[in-house]
Structure 1
Amino acid sequence: MSRVVYVNGEFLPEEEAKISIFDRGFLFADGVYEVSTILDGKMVDNPAHLERLGRSMYELGMTPPCSMEEIEVIQQEMLKRNPIQEGGLYLQVTRGAADRDFVYPDESTRSSLIMFTQEKPVVESALAKRGMRISFQPDIRWQRRDIKTVGLLPASMAKVAAQGEGADDAWMVEDGKVTEGTSNNAYIITQDDVLVTKARSNKILHGITRKAVLALAKEEGLTIEERDFTPEEAKLAKEAFVTSASTFVTGVVNIDGQQLGNGTPGPMTIRLREIYIDFARQNLS
């Protein structure tokens, strides 16, 4: 049975879904998106994702396709029509369809809204159990990474390059400092048990999972430093991990060929994953 997707006011079998070839998401990557994790058939921390969606549209001067309350109603209907227990609910808003022009169309152009679900394990993740291998790749993205846009080709290129080197993912490096992963925020735990991650700015995505995990780490008594760190510092770390909506907290066990610890996710990483899963289950909607 195929998935039911949502396209501009219609719930459709995925095989029947269509969007204009003039949609600016297709022509200019002129769109933003969010992915809410589905756990136990419900969405994790969804209000925070919708708040960030609103910010992304605002930063691009994009007219919302409808209210956030209406978007949430559509999301809930998507969960009813696609009754999966674990995975993700993806939504994308573009500036809509208009004749190809670098100048934004006027406000009479209606924004496009699409949604679809993806089913995959979230809690019992094989990657989280064995740990992730990371390689370093140059960060060639634009300078507004705080906006969650659909312009993901540079991140895709970095991930493919990393996998070509035998890694699972890349940590991107700019001016000698680690920014973030291709689709996640990056962290190290130093030999002195200090959790280090890059501070929020336009250089990284302001992760929803990042925000929650840092709050949980503070409650656990961890010392946190939001600052730049270098690839060399990362390779000397006691532990490392990434966070994202789709991976929660996932340990990094090898960085650019350097094994961390005994080559398995470290105890603090495991602990943070456990308490984040508890947090996620307490924030379902």
Structure 2
Amino acid sequence: MSRTVYVNGQYLPEEEATVSIFDRGFLMADGVYEVTSVLGGKLIDFAGHAARLERSLKELDMEKPEAFDDLLEIHRELVARNGIEEGMVYLQVTRGNPGDRDFAFPDPATTKPTLVLFTQNKPGLADNPQAQKGIKVISIEDIRWGRRDIKTVQLLYPSMGKMMAKKAGCDDAWLVEDGFVTEGTSNNTYIVKDGKIITRNLSHDILHGITRAAVLRFAKEAQMVVEERPFTIEEAQGADEAFFTSASAFVMPVVEIDGNPVKEGKVGPVASRLREIYLDESRKAGV
């Protein structure tokens, strides 16, 4: 059965959805995106994703799409039309189609942004069996551009990182710069040592994760100690626990790093508890 997608003001069967070959998202990776999870047919952390999208657009001096104020309604409509109970809504905004290829930004008075949304149906998203056994990661050099706090569609190196991990028989890669872990290929990273949750502080070096913000808030409400600072791969390998957070994986335990088990190589209590709290609270607050 064909999905219904959204392209520049129209709900269309996916087979009929098109974007120009001159669109700057295609030619220049000149675009930003957001992914919002759906649980029980409701959107999770939508307000946070909308706020980050607005920030990304502003940082790139990109115009808001005309339908920006209607994004919640559009998300809900796509969820309803496609019958999504558990899954995701992907949103992408590009600088649009100026009519020809040019490095210089087009005049915003003559070129409107391109807005595309589509759903992905993921039954069992919240009950991912990997959360019960944990995942394995490798470490790789972080050679991405410096503005990782902007959620751009420049995802080639993260994709390569995931393929490096797959080739090594692992699930994901953690990126390392100047000796410290920045983040995962598509997630924020954490370790737990002596009851303390340690995660890299916010800066241009990492994405300001929406799930990260929620999980840290829940951790503090649960009287857990949080320290925001960089950590090394060696620290992570010697930690009591390790995990990552993202909009699609929520809280995911990491049990092995570069072939070395974290603690006993088993899922720990802090990550398990945070995942439980996050899913419970998110379901209650879904819109």
- Output the TM-score relative to the length of structure 1: 0.98
> What is the Cα deviation at residue 16 of structure 1?
1.2
Give, as a single letter, the amino acid of the residue that structure 1 aligns with 2:137.
I
> What is the Cα deviation at residue 263 of structure 1?
2.2
TM-superposition CA deviations, 1:141-193 (whole Å, max 9, x none): 10000000000001111111111111100000001100000000000001x11
1:236 to 235, 238, 260: 238
**Aligned partner of residue 262 in structure 1, secondary structure:** coil
Instruction: Tell me whether 1:66 sits opposite 2:69 in the alignment.
Output: no
Q: Which residue matches 1:224? A: 226
Instruction: Tell me whether 1:167 sits opposite 2:140 in the alignment.
Output: no
Contact map agreement 2:201 2:228 (CA 8 A) in 1: yes
When the two structures are aligned, how many residues end up with a matched partner?
A: 284
Task: Return the alpha-carbon distance in structure 2 between the equivalents of residues 279 and 180 of structure 1.
Answer: 25
Task: Return the alpha-carbon distance in structure 1 between the equivalents of residues 265 and 239 of structure 2.
Answer: 12
Task: Return the alpha-carbon distance in structure 1 between the equivalents of residues 50 and 35 of structure 2.
Answer: 10
2:152 to 149, 152, 157: 149
> What is the Cα deviation at residue 69 of structure 1?
2.3
Q: Which residue matches 1:85? A: 85
Q: Which residue matches 2:117? A: 115
| 9-18 vs 139-148, greater mean Cα deviation | 9-18
Task: Return the alpha-carbon distance in structure 2 between the equivalents of residues 96 and 270 of structure 1.
Answer: 42
> What is the Cα deviation at residue 260 of structure 1?
1.7
Q: Which residue matches 1:179? A: 182
Instruction: Tell me whether 1:95 sits opposite 2:95 in the alignment.
Output: yes
| Structure 1 residue ranges without an equivalent (≥5) | none
Instruction: Tell me whether 1:263 sits opposite 2:230 in the alignment.
Output: no
> What is the Cα deviation at residue 83 of structure 1?
1.1
Contact map agreement 2:238 2:263 (CA 8 A) in 1: no
> What is the Cα deviation at residue 274 of structure 1?
0.3
TM-superposition CA deviations, 1:217-248 (whole Å, max 9, x none): 11122211100101110100100100000000
Give, as a single letter, the amino acid of the residue that structure 2 aligns with 1:104.
F
Task: Return the alpha-carbon distance in structure 2 between the equivalents of residues 283 and 132 of structure 1.
Answer: 28
Task: Return the alpha-carbon distance in structure 1 between the equivalents of residues 235 and 176 of structure 2.
Answer: 13
> What is the Cα deviation at residue 261 of structure 1?
2.9
Matches within 5 A, 1:3-42: 3-42=3-42
Task: Return the alpha-carbon distance in structure 2 between the equivalents of residues 28 and 9 of structure 1.
Answer: 23
**Aligned partner of residue 36 in structure 2, secondary structure:** strand
Contact map agreement 2:149 2:208 (CA 8 A) in 1: yes
> What is the Cα deviation at residue 37 of structure 1?
0.2
Identity of aligned residues (%): 55
Contact map agreement 2:9 2:67 (CA 8 A) in 1: no
| 119-128 vs 206-215, greater mean Cα deviation | 119-128
Instruction: Tell me whether 1:188 sits opposite 2:191 in the alignment.
Output: yes
Contact map agreement 1:137 1:162 (CA 8 A) in 2: no
> What is the Cα deviation at residue 67 of structure 1?
4.7
> What is the Cα deviation at residue 79 of structure 1?
1.4
Task: Return the alpha-carbon distance in structure 2 between the equivalents of residues 65 and 202 of structure 1.
Answer: 25
Task: Return the alpha-carbon distance in structure 1 between the equivalents of residues 223 and 71 of structure 2.
Answer: 37
Task: Return the alpha-carbon distance in structure 2 between the equivalents of residues 193 and 222 of structure 1.
Answer: 8
How large is the RMSD of aligned CA atoms in angstroms? 0.9
Task: Return the alpha-carbon distance in structure 2 between the equivalents of residues 84 and 10 of structure 1.
Answer: 19
Task: Return the alpha-carbon distance in structure 2 between the equivalents of residues 186 and 280 of structure 1.
Answer: 20
Task: Return the alpha-carbon distance in structure 2 between the equivalents of residues 159 and 8 of structure 1.
Answer: 31
**Aligned partner of residue 270 in structure 1, secondary structure:** helix
Q: Which residue matches 2:248? A: 246
TM-superposition CA deviations, 1:106-161 (whole Å, max 9, x none): 01201000000001132110211211101001111100000000000011111111
- Output the TM-score relative to the length of structure 2: 0.97
Give, as a single letter, the amino acid of the residue that structure 2 aligns with 1:154.
Y
Give, as a single letter, the amino acid of the residue that structure 1 aligns with 2:218.
L
TM-superposition CA deviations, 1:246-279 (whole Å, max 9, x none): 0000100111111123322101110000000011
Q: Which residue matches 1:202? A: 204
Q: Which residue matches 2:106? A: 105
